[in-house]
Protein backbone atom coordinates (compact mmCIF):
# COMPACT_ATOMS: atom_id res chain seq x y z
CA UNK A 1 0.00 0.00 0.00
CA UNK A 2 1.16 3.56 -0.36
CA UNK A 3 1.69 5.57 2.85
CA UNK A 4 -1.47 6.83 4.59
CA UNK A 5 -3.03 9.55 2.41
CA UNK A 6 -3.26 11.71 5.55
CA UNK A 7 0.54 12.04 5.30
CA UNK A 8 0.85 12.44 1.53
CA UNK A 9 -2.18 14.59 0.81
CA UNK A 10 -3.41 12.13 -1.81
CA UNK A 11 -7.04 12.48 -2.81
CA UNK A 12 -7.93 8.81 -3.23
CA UNK A 13 -8.94 7.37 0.13
CA UNK A 14 -9.21 3.75 -0.97
CA UNK A 15 -6.48 1.15 -0.71
CA UNK A 16 -4.14 0.39 -3.59
CA UNK A 17 -1.67 -2.46 -3.73
CA UNK A 18 1.62 -1.18 -5.12
CA UNK A 19 3.78 -4.18 -4.24
CA UNK A 20 3.91 -7.50 -2.48
CA UNK A 21 6.31 -8.72 0.21
CA UNK A 22 6.55 -12.48 0.29
CA UNK A 23 7.92 -14.28 3.31
CA UNK A 24 8.65 -17.95 3.68
CA UNK A 25 8.94 -20.15 6.74
CA UNK A 26 11.05 -23.29 6.73
CA UNK A 27 13.44 -24.29 3.96
CA UNK A 28 13.77 -21.85 1.07
CA UNK A 29 11.52 -22.83 -1.89
CA UNK A 30 14.45 -23.03 -4.32
CA UNK A 31 16.25 -25.49 -2.00
CA UNK A 32 13.16 -27.73 -1.77
CA UNK A 33 12.70 -27.55 -5.57
CA UNK A 34 16.33 -28.54 -6.15
CA UNK A 35 16.08 -31.44 -3.67
CA UNK A 36 12.90 -32.69 -5.35
CA UNK A 37 14.27 -32.22 -8.86
CA UNK A 38 11.49 -29.78 -9.79
CA UNK A 39 11.81 -27.92 -13.09
CA UNK A 40 9.82 -24.90 -11.95
CA UNK A 41 7.88 -23.42 -9.05
CA UNK A 42 4.44 -21.97 -9.63
CA UNK A 43 2.87 -19.83 -6.93
CA UNK A 44 -0.84 -19.18 -7.15
CA UNK A 45 -2.45 -16.81 -4.75
CA UNK A 46 -6.03 -16.11 -3.92
CA UNK A 47 -7.44 -12.64 -4.59
CA UNK A 48 -6.22 -9.94 -2.23
CA UNK A 49 -8.56 -8.07 0.07
CA UNK A 50 -6.59 -4.89 0.75
CA UNK A 51 -9.42 -3.01 2.47
CA UNK A 52 -9.97 -5.87 4.93
CA UNK A 53 -6.22 -6.10 5.55
CA UNK A 54 -5.93 -2.34 6.14
CA UNK A 55 -8.91 -2.43 8.52
CA UNK A 56 -7.25 -5.27 10.46
CA UNK A 57 -4.02 -3.26 10.73
CA UNK A 58 -6.04 -0.25 11.95
CA UNK A 59 -7.74 -2.39 14.60
CA UNK A 60 -4.38 -3.72 15.82
CA UNK A 61 -2.89 -0.22 16.03
CA UNK A 62 -5.95 1.28 17.71
CA UNK A 63 -6.17 -1.59 20.21
CA UNK A 64 -2.51 -1.13 21.19
CA UNK A 65 -3.01 2.63 21.65
CA UNK A 66 -5.97 1.84 23.88
CA UNK A 67 -4.03 -0.82 25.80
CA UNK A 68 -1.12 1.50 26.60
CA UNK A 69 -3.40 4.44 27.48
CA UNK A 70 -2.31 6.63 24.56
CA UNK A 71 -5.77 7.59 23.27
CA UNK A 72 -6.17 10.27 25.93
CA UNK A 73 -3.54 12.26 24.01
CA UNK A 74 -5.94 12.74 21.09
CA UNK A 75 -7.93 15.90 20.47
CA UNK A 76 -11.16 13.90 20.30
CA UNK A 77 -12.36 10.53 19.10
CA UNK A 78 -10.00 8.91 16.62
CA UNK A 79 -11.01 9.64 13.01
CA UNK A 80 -10.01 6.09 12.04
CA UNK A 81 -12.87 4.52 14.05
CA UNK A 82 -15.58 4.81 11.34
CA UNK A 83 -13.12 3.33 8.81
CA UNK A 84 -12.06 0.38 10.94
CA UNK A 85 -15.72 -0.38 11.64
CA UNK A 86 -16.48 -0.29 7.89
CA UNK A 87 -18.91 2.62 8.23
CA UNK A 88 -17.01 4.71 5.65
CA UNK A 89 -14.68 3.77 2.83
CA UNK A 90 -11.62 5.93 3.54
CA UNK A 91 -9.26 3.47 5.27
CA UNK A 92 -6.46 4.43 2.85
CA UNK A 93 -6.50 7.92 4.35
CA UNK A 94 -5.50 6.51 7.74
CA UNK A 95 -3.54 3.30 6.98
CA UNK A 96 -0.62 2.59 4.67
CA UNK A 97 2.89 1.25 4.35
CA UNK A 98 5.64 3.28 5.98
CA UNK A 99 8.55 4.17 3.72
CA UNK A 100 11.37 3.49 6.18
CA UNK A 101 13.71 0.65 5.22
CA UNK A 102 12.50 -2.78 6.30
CA UNK A 103 14.00 -3.87 9.61
CA UNK A 104 14.03 -7.31 11.16
CA UNK A 105 13.56 -7.81 14.90
CA UNK A 106 14.84 -11.29 15.75
CA UNK A 107 12.92 -12.95 18.56
CA UNK A 108 9.94 -10.59 18.19
CA UNK A 109 6.99 -12.08 16.29
CA UNK A 110 4.92 -8.89 15.92
CA UNK A 111 5.86 -5.29 16.72
CA UNK A 112 3.41 -2.52 17.52
CA UNK A 113 4.67 0.89 18.63
CA UNK A 114 2.84 4.13 19.33
CA UNK A 115 4.58 7.33 18.20
CA UNK A 116 3.76 10.98 18.82
CA UNK A 117 4.66 13.29 15.97
CA UNK A 118 4.63 16.65 17.75
CA UNK A 119 5.99 18.42 14.68
CA UNK A 120 3.00 17.43 12.53
CA UNK A 121 0.63 17.02 15.48
CA UNK A 122 -0.64 13.46 15.21
CA UNK A 123 -0.48 10.10 16.96
CA UNK A 124 0.65 7.11 14.88
CA UNK A 125 0.59 3.38 15.51
CA UNK A 126 3.34 1.45 13.73
CA UNK A 127 2.38 -2.17 13.08
CA UNK A 128 4.79 -4.79 11.77
CA UNK A 129 3.46 -8.33 11.52
CA UNK A 130 6.04 -11.13 11.55
CA UNK A 131 8.72 -8.61 12.50
CA UNK A 132 11.24 -11.43 12.93
CA UNK A 133 11.15 -11.77 9.13
CA UNK A 134 11.66 -9.16 6.42
CA UNK A 135 8.22 -7.53 6.43
CA UNK A 136 7.04 -3.96 5.92
CA UNK A 137 5.74 -1.72 8.67
CA UNK A 138 2.32 -0.13 8.39
CA UNK A 139 1.27 3.21 9.83
CA UNK A 140 -2.12 3.94 11.35
CA UNK A 141 -2.95 7.60 11.84
CA UNK A 142 -4.88 7.62 15.11
CA UNK A 143 -5.73 11.33 15.16
CA UNK A 144 -4.57 14.82 16.03
CA UNK A 145 -2.73 15.33 19.29
CA UNK A 146 -4.07 17.69 21.93
CA UNK A 147 -2.16 20.92 22.25
CA UNK A 148 0.40 20.68 25.07
CA UNK A 149 -0.76 22.41 28.23
CA UNK A 150 1.42 24.96 29.94
CA UNK A 151 2.99 23.81 33.22
Global pTM exceeds 0.95: no
Domain ranges of the chain: 5-144
Tens of pLDDT, residues 51-83: 999 999 999 999 999 999 999 999 999 999 999
- Specify whether the CB–CB gap between 142 and 83 falls below 8 A: no
Residue 22 has pLDDT above 80, yes or no: no
Amino acid sequence: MPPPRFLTGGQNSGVDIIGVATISFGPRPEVVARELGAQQLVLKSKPDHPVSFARMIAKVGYAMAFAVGALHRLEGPSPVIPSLLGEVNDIGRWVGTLTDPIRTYHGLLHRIEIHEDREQGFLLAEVQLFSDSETPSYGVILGHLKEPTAP
